[in-house]
Amino acid sequence: MAKELDLDWANLKFGYLPTDYNVRCYFRDGKWGEIEVSSSDTINMHMAATCLHYGQEAFEGLKAYRCKDGHIRVFRPEENAARLQSTCRGILMPELPTEKFVEMVKKVVLLNERFVPPYESGATLYVRPLLIGTSAQVGVHPATEYLFIIFVTPVGPYFKGGFATNNYVIARDHDRSAPLGTGIYKVGGNYAASLQANKWAHDQGYACEFYLDAKEKKYIDECGAANFFGIKNNTYVTPLSTSILPSITNKSLMQLAEDLGMKVERRQIPEEELETFEEAGACGTAAVISPIGEIDDPVMNKKYVIAKDGKPGPISEKLYKKLKAIQYGEEPDTHNWITIVK
């Protein structure tokens, strides 16, 4: 019988808590090995591993939900597998088959079932897949050996206020990624490149930094580490860019917007168009939707107030509730997005 956890589920932070097990799989001699289970939260690695010197690493993020009907569900793991495979092609790592990825996700969730937060606690089990180049290399070349590992940790809401408006600041003096760089891949270097701007935004009292395109500084790129969307005239508008990570949450919201009879536009969005949106939000796995209250551009002395009353807009709220209901098995899974783990 698993030991009961003494955790204050309702007040968990979005951070790391140790759990019982992680799952691992090694790539050696040109092929993937068997799935291994480990109770260690450390890995033994050569000091010349390519992940440490040349950034040959990729990761993903998804969640497991304990639901009202007693089942544990995971949201669109096949999409995470596909995005990881895209990253692997981009930085020359071996692709992990989708079937093995999903099998390992299910296995690690079941092994740590006691850490899946209770239904309606406001917390979820965050699932973190990680792929790293482990073989020793001094020249700039791809590794020959790799480790794929998935660990889990229970987390609270990404933003303290949950589904409430947040304010952003345009970081004109920083670029997260270049148009033909690694922005479309989920690699750690993109996040390292955002740390300075993120700290600057927080120091100014904002929830997060807001990026314009690196080439012309004219078009909306990303909201920190999340995708942007704006709503006007019954249309869901989101940037089309070669430097934005394709968000699985955003992809899902676009589909739900169409299901609600809205038009969907993926295109370049000039900064000045911000003043025309009735609603806007940042979306991603961690927060699902973080409604945007206002976006400030201190360099240009502009302030775009989107939520005039300071509250989330009705369409954002409808999309948020719809997606959460599907994730928790409370609405029909008409697009086959859900994997039931137990």
Could you give the residue numbers annotated as active site? Answer: 186
- Rounded Cα distance between 55 and 263, Å, is 39
For 244, the token pair is 């934005």
- Rounded Cα distance between 74 and 57, Å, is 24
The DSSP call for residue 116 is: S
3-state SS class at 260: coil
- Rounded Cα distance between 236 and 209, Å, is 22
What are the residues whose beta carbons fall under 8 Å from the beta carbon of 14, sequence distance 6 or more? 126, 155, 156, 157, 158, 286
Strand 166-170 and strand 288-297: the pairing is parallel
What are the residues whose beta carbons fall under 8 Å from the beta carbon of 143, sequence distance 6 or more? 49, 50, 51, 56, 93, 133, 134, 135, 137
CB atoms within 10 A of CB 15: 10
Which residues face 97 on adjacent strands? none
Rounded to a whole number of angstroms, the distance between the first and last alpha carbons of the chain is 17
